[in-house]
Structure 1
Amino acid sequence: MANPVLTIVVPCYNEEEVLPETVQRLSKMINSLVHDKLISDKSTVLFVDDGSRDKTWELIEQFHHAYPAMTGLKLAKNAGHQNALLAGLMTAKETADCVISIDADLQDDIEAIREFILKFHEGCDVVYGVRKSRTTDTWFKRATAQGFYKLMTSMGVRIHDNHADYRLMSKRALDELERFKEVNLFLRGIVPLIGFPSAVVYYDRHERFAGESKYPLKKMLSFAFDGITSFSVTPIRFVTLTGFVLFALSILAAIYAIVGKLWGTTVSGWTSLILSVWFIGGIQLLALGLIGEYIGKIYREVKHRPLFIIEKKLVTEDTPERV
């Protein structure tokens, strides 16, 4: 087999501070892999500008004009990390034999890319980058992340612990990924469904090189909730089970009230009445909100709107010049 063409897809949102360093490190890694004859000299890096408000796109254009191996996509508006990543993957698969996705912030260890490629040469269609530990995280972030992975696993979702979106996928794996037409994207859960031969590469996660995190607590919680509701109906079933439990308790309460009435020992209890009303009302609102969330997802799915719109594309021809 000839040396495979690799494309590294890098979603970017307001990454002007870190982008020059990212270009330098990724270019160095590609040059090393080309020198060792692990990948083709036609391999490239594809930056996807997800509607950035800073000079991210201007920098991508500058790097492309100086070094055509640095290519780019500019989305018409901010589509979200998962959609931007998908845009890059679907574009890259047209010319690449394998694609690696990595965030621009340099927290994921770039040195692991070599291990990804070696696993690909061994016949793996998907290679997952998995963190060795979370010692650099705060206690809260570590606890919530571990709780999320355990919760997803308990609901029957095939997901790798401590794996984000740092992975390698072969062209045929990406062709199968394209067949998944869902709008509510959660790639960490979708990719394992493909089922092709896979492997895991463990790495240490670093501190962000520059700039601010694009995933504050609010976005992290929203992303986790989307992942849960996109892959499992367990929350709905839990609401149903809660309804049955409350129904059984209400029957017991009714029997108790009737017996008390017959024996003449009823005592008016304002506190217990108010507490029960608030409890039942809260459960009902929670159930309605959860059902509404699922209906909202169905509403988005049936519209079949495009997940992203590409405004500009910077591509390279033939063998690209390298940094």
Structure 2
Amino acid sequence: MVQSEMSFYNSSQSSTYKQQPILYIVVPCYNEEEVFTLTVEHLTEVMTSMVQEQLVSRESRLMFVDDGSRDTTWLQIAAARRENPWVTGLKLARNAGHQKALLAGLMYAKEFADCVVSMDADLQDDTGVVRDFVLRYREGYDVVYGVRRSRETDTWFKRWSAEKFYKLMQRMGVNTVYNHADYRLMSKRALEHLAEYKEVNVFLRGIVPLIGFRTTVVEYDRHERAAGESKYPLKKMLSFAWEGITSFSVKPMRIVTMIGFLSLGASLLAAIYALMSKIMGMTVSGWTSLMVSVWFIGSIQLLALGVIGEYIGKIYNEVKHRPLYVIDEVLHEQPSAAAAPWKEAGWKE
């Protein structure tokens, strides 16, 4: 009986982690016309090389998700689809944001792929590491995190702010992988469990570690942006950090509660000071301390209302159950036999 159960487990494991899995590389794009052509060239080389090595199936694809770009990004995706059989595309009806656009690609790709790699379009992530991701997947890992080896290419402020971001997330109780963004591989079953997380406030760096399963890390060196401008200025970075904290932790509300207790203690000390001043006949003085106390307590109250309001706003968004994104157009038809990439390369069936 035990032997039969073990044989069933081994067979299920071997079917889960195929020797030549169908790999999809999902790349969210927002106004990436300057770098798109170069990105397609790099990823095509990576995919072709892995297929030739028989690391992945010939049915693998590159999926570009246009997140409501205002430039020619979608036109370039459509043109690349006609010329490059590896390329597929999704066009969202409006700009939904990086995390939701990435989620749209992941949820669509999981229906066709055995494993999916997600990465940005700016080529800062080392595309050569995709091969290492696939090797780890074939070893039985469901989630493979791409982790930066160093931040030497960043400015001093960028390094400092990134370090503080990860430390702050950790202290707030958000389980994230240090120096990891959204460059990762996920197996089909990991993606199926990711689909069960229905929350509107999407923060994938915090959600993916909650899934569990076997995980590992692949280190790589991050490059300079190949072309174009960064889509994450300081304002967006701060907003992203706040979104992550408030989506996974109630500690900000607890901090406000602690500030309330401290304010109460300060008020009691002020009351003792006022009482002593009256007893000693010094009631005329103290106007400055009174005004400071009023402004201080008022600011604490506004801060508390702001934090509570942020959580109420998130609850409001969650209970409406609005769709996270709307797919406007899909370029995913299977290529014809004449245009199949392996035939173009001269390979045999």
> Per the shorter chain, which TM-score range?
over 0.9
The 5-angstrom pairing of residues 66-85 of structure 1 reads 66-85=83-102
Of the three residues 107, 114, 121, the one matched with 1:90 is 107
Match of 1:321 in 2: 341
The 5-angstrom pairing of residues 273-292 of structure 1 reads 273-292=290-309
1:219 deviates by 0.9
Match of 1:33 in 2: 50
8 A Cα contact 1:69 1:316, kept in partner: no
Match of 1:236 in 2: 253
1:23 deviates by 0.5
> Please, which moves more after superposition, 259-268 or 173-182?
259-268
Q: Tell me which amino acid in the other structure corresponds to 1:239.
A: V
8 A Cα contact 1:186 1:230, kept in partner: yes
8 A Cα contact 1:51 1:77, kept in partner: yes
Q: Tell me which amino acid in the other structure corresponds to 1:307.
A: L
Match of 2:177 in 1: 160
- Report the secondary structure of 2:341's partner residue: coil
Q: Distance in 1 between matches of 2:155 and 2:333?
A: 42
Match of 1:192 in 2: 209
Deviations 1:257-306 (A, max 9, x none): 21332233445122222222221111111111111111111111111000
Q: Tell me which amino acid in the other structure corresponds to 1:195.
A: G
Deviations 1:36-66 (A, max 9, x none): 1111011000000000111111111111111
- Report the secondary structure of 1:8's partner residue: strand
Match of 2:328 in 1: 311
8 A Cα contact 2:19 2:138, kept in partner: no
8 A Cα contact 1:68 1:315, kept in partner: no
1:138 deviates by 1.4
> Please, which moves more after superposition, 251-260 or 127-136?
251-260
Match of 1:297 in 2: 314
1:154 deviates by 1.1
Instruction: Label 1:2 to 1:137 Cα distance change in 2 as closer, same or farther (>3 A).
Output: closer
Return the TM-score normalized by structure 1: 0.97
Q: How many residues align?
A: 323
Deviations 1:47-100 (A, max 9, x none): 000001111111111111112220000000000000000000000000000000
Q: List, as ranges, runs of 4+ consecutive aligned residues in structure 1 with deviation greater than 4 Å.
A: none
The alignment status of 1:250 with 2:267, answered yes or no, reads yes
Return the TM-score normalized by structure 2: 0.90
Of the three residues 66, 70, 86, the one matched with 1:49 is 66
Of the three residues 129, 135, 144, the one matched with 1:118 is 135
Of the three residues 64, 78, 83, the one matched with 2:81 is 64
- Report the secondary structure of 1:9's partner residue: strand
- Report the secondary structure of 1:235's partner residue: helix
The runs of 5 or more residues in structure 2 that have no matched partner are 1-17, 345-349
> What is the aligned-residue identity percentage?
65
Question: What is the root-mean-square deviation in Å for CA atoms of aligned residues?
Answer: 1.3
Q: Distance in 1 between matches of 2:298 and 2:270?
A: 17
The runs of 5 or more residues in structure 1 that have no matched partner are none
- Report the secondary structure of 2:113's partner residue: coil
8 A Cα contact 1:34 1:41, kept in partner: yes
Q: Tell me which amino acid in the other structure corresponds to 1:79.
A: A
